[in-house]
Structure 1
């Protein structure tokens, strides 16, 4: 049944012309009577479908937004920090003045991309980490913590950042970070300032108890290309028992080189993997957010791992930024170091869910129950999907929808606090204004949002799995493909040039 028919049936049966203009004090009773007559999943589907036509069908959209318990105030994300422009703490005023003089710091140029949180035991305050990639000059630091006044302080200290590419032992440009259950902060440094590869890419790990560097892996030149940009690290810890952190892999998305970097931490070895599904979809390369449009042909971008269960395979969920599909990959495929000799993943080893999102999505993250959280561009929003259900719009449920505050969810993380509770953290930005050059300091441009996962799921259909089905139920279709005979296939003409 098409959207118009659905809405006309609802309005025709339950809304009279007079009722459409009822006074505000009657809204809860009226909307409640209307909405109770419909299946919750159906109403969630209606709201998703109506998101682009709210002016035409304002009454039902208003009832759903204001009165439907699954989408009410309890599921809204709290704004923890917000900025019109970023500001920074420097070691002293002289250092700040020198940074401005050298154009290491250009006020208004810095754009935050990712967020992660370190909840500490005892009386020590939790720390919010924010990344600031060096798209261009003027970013004094590329990774920092946020103080009580909203200023960023260089992590682990300013000396790691005061190089602008002149010291490859420091940090050059960081898009995203990841904190694992072993209290390690993983930092993927792309080594670029703008388009210039001033240092080789490197993966760093810091012990969050001491803030000391405990691991550095400089990526071999055979594992990246001139176009490579490793923007999203995902940490796969495979413990054999409590406290075991030895068996660790890091997967990093190469958004513009259209590949995947795999780092075996135990062996300090890395390799590159390529597949056609790491590429963007040209038909999905135009983005429209809050009335502004831009083109961006970014490939593999958002990634999330299924929950770990000892002795079982984990699945990597991923999608290109310029796409509306979601893909699934058994990590056994990419943890095979035979990719060093041939980086081409078997074409049949990655599965694409047959249905699509309503619009493009940036980052994503998965909780311990196998629920995936992701943002949508249109409408600007954050949604959840229980992976025990079919990947379909009818199974996507809103966590929060806000045209102004949720425009581009570039950082999405599931964080476990000191009480063992999971939290959802999201960094959003007016990225469309960054791309079009219309960013101005007279409005809030960047925000960090957070909420406890139990609060988000309290009235959400995402909490409920079909009877007898667990997370990842619909990815079983690819499980049998691991280890089958590969058929020859190469991705990209550049592969032949490197032979």
Structure 2
């Protein structure tokens, strides 16, 4: 009976008009693989676990682990950094805290490997998991900074901490908001790795050098929000945000580890480009070098082109990006001009893709996407009798087939 029930649920989940990607997992509410029933009951009674306050936000796949983040936007988030083991036949699997329960408890903030609140993470070619820990609890209601904002790096083969780097206070501002981390690495030279931390609130990029274990801040006008599109609609909710630079995608890498860095703001529809050699040169951040012109505008996605994250597919020369006002994901082939006609939707659904917030591409060419109905979570109240949080996946080459993004 269990198998029949799961098959029926799976059929219902994917019986959606026009939806191409497969819904891999769905949840009404988030729950965890507790060590004991008593641990769960204690967490509920103490207020350390309030199921309604747990929302998924970031995703990453590494081998048989699918990482999913749960930011501590409200009180009662049991664990911020989690994973699901793949393959998984459960449609609503419980989360496993990573690297352990102990490393996700706020009572253990003295531990170097503790993760207080992370939005997005990335696994690199050197089998390291890079976590941007904002360090804040209860961000939406009464923000409390538990620890400094940090870059936390784990060895995925041993599930152990490699390093924790606290971001210097002088590189943050009063409105700093760090929603995304993108890692610029090479398997041939793991030591020479850089991480780009986007500051959507104060319009900057904090560049972290793993080799030097230090960071610097870069600012540019292109990192600012576009005030002409500050108001936008997601589902039936109207937002008026000020978020600047948000999404970053890394282009082809040459043998000197040079590559183009594509980026865009959340409040805006334009796409920009700069060489990683500019970001990685600290003198540009400290001095008056004539670097402004090195930042280029590529094009404009058009009306309602707001996007959170994006990712580059080197095998197909395509960038995939979320389209939060259109309940879907779009694409752009970097060998073509970027405009409204060359950035089509490749999947969309008015129910199952409400607020697509994070997108990743795995080594097998599959797109992984999270949607989480954030407007209802932030502004209203979710219906916990319905599925609110989803993980979807689809082969990228199939999704772009027949579109202007398909170069074949």
Would you say same fold, with TM above 0.5? yes
Structure 2 equivalent of residue 264 of structure 1: 209
Alignment partner of 1:157 out of 92, 95, 100:
100
TM-superposed deviation, 1:342:
4.6
Q: Is residue 183 of structure 2 the alignment partner of residue 245 of structure 1? A: no
1:452 is aligned, of 392, 395, 401, to 395
Please report how far the alpha carbon of residue 308 of structure 1 lies from its aligned counterpart in structure 2 after TM superposition. Answer: 1.4
CA contact (8 A) 1:290 1:403 kept: yes
Moved more, 379-388 or 287-296: 287-296
Q: RMSD of the TM alignment (CA)?
A: 2.2
What are the Cα deviations for residues 199-229 of structure 1, in whole angstroms up to 9, with x where unaligned? 1111111111111111221212222223322
**Structure 2 CA distance for aligned equivalents of residues 319 and 450 of structure 1:** 23
Q: Would the aligned equivalents of 1:426 and 1:449 in 2 still touch at CA under 8 Å?
A: yes
CA 1:377–1:265: 2 relative to 1, 3 Å = same
1:363 counterpart residue number = 309
The Cα of 1:300 is off from its aligned counterpart by 1.2
1:338 aligns with 2:289: no
* Aligned-partner SS, 1:463: coil
- Separation (CA, whole Å) in 2 of partners of 1:333 and 1:310: 17
- Structure 1 residue 313: deviation in Å? 3.0
Secondary structure, in 3 states, of the residue corresponding to 2:341? helix
Asked whether the equivalents of residues 82 and 448 of structure 1 are also in contact (C-alpha less than 8 Å), the reply is yes
Matched, 1:115 2:48: no
1:405 to 322, 347, 352: 352
TM-score under structure 2 normalisation? Answer: 0.87
Q: 2:118 aligns with which of 153, 174, 181?
A: 174
Whether the aligned pair in 1 keeps the contact of 2:60 and 2:68 (CA below 8 Å) is: yes
TM-score by length of 1: 0.72
SS in 2 for 1:101: helix
230-239 or 182-191, larger mean C-alpha shift: 230-239
Counterpart contact for 1:165–1:199, Cα < 8 Å:
no
Task: Report which of the two structures shows the higher radius of gyration computed on alpha carbons.
Answer: 1
Indicate if the aligned counterparts of 2:272 and 2:299 stay in contact, CA closer than 8 A: no
Aligned runs of 1:94-105 on 2, under 5 Å? Answer: 94-105=38-49
Q: Please give the residue correspondences for 1:435-450 in structure 2 after superposition, counting only pairs within 5 Å.
A: 435-450=378-393
* C-alpha contact 1:307 1:367 (8 A) present in aligned 2: no
CA–CA distance in 1 between the matches of 2:214 and 2:369?
A: 32
Q: Does 1:309 align with 2:254?
A: yes
Give yes or no for contact 1:367–1:414 (8 Å, CA) kept in 2: yes
Structure 2 equivalent of residue 298 of structure 1? 243
Q: Structure 2: any 5+ residue segments left out of the alignment? A: 1-16
Name the CA distance, whole Å, in 1 between partners of 2:208 and 2:24: 33
Measured at CA, do residues 77 and 183 of structure 1 come closer, stay the same or move farther in structure 2, by a change above 3 Å?
same
1:343 CA drift (Å): 9.4
1:176-215 pair list within 5 angstroms: 176-193=120-137, 194=139, 195-215=143-163
Structure having the larger proportion of residues in strand: 2
Does the 8 Å contact 1:165/1:191 carry over to 2? no
How far, CA to CA, are the matches of 1:106 and 1:144 in structure 2? 17
2:368 alignment partner in structure 1: 425
Distance 1:344 1:137 in 2: 45
Retained in 2: the 8 A contact 1:182–1:245? yes
Q: In 2, are the aligned partners of 1:168 and 1:199 still within 8 Å (CA)?
A: no
For residue 309 of structure 1, report the CA deviation from its aligned partner. Answer: 2.0
Q: CA distance change for structure 1 residues 215 and 344 in 2, over 3 Å: closer, same or farther? A: farther
Distance 1:316 1:424 in 2: 20
Residue-by-residue CA offset, 1:252-271 (whole Å, 9 max, x unaligned) = 11121221110110111111
How much does 1:295 deviate?
Answer: 2.1
CA change 1:341–1:168 in 2 (3 A) is: farther
Structure 1 residues 402, 268: CA separation in 2 closer, same or farther (over 3 Å shift)? same
Cα shift readout 1:82-108 (whole Å, capped 9, x = no counterpart): 112111122222222222233221111
Shift of residue 347 of structure 1? Answer: 3.1
The residue that corresponds to 1:483 in the other structure is: none
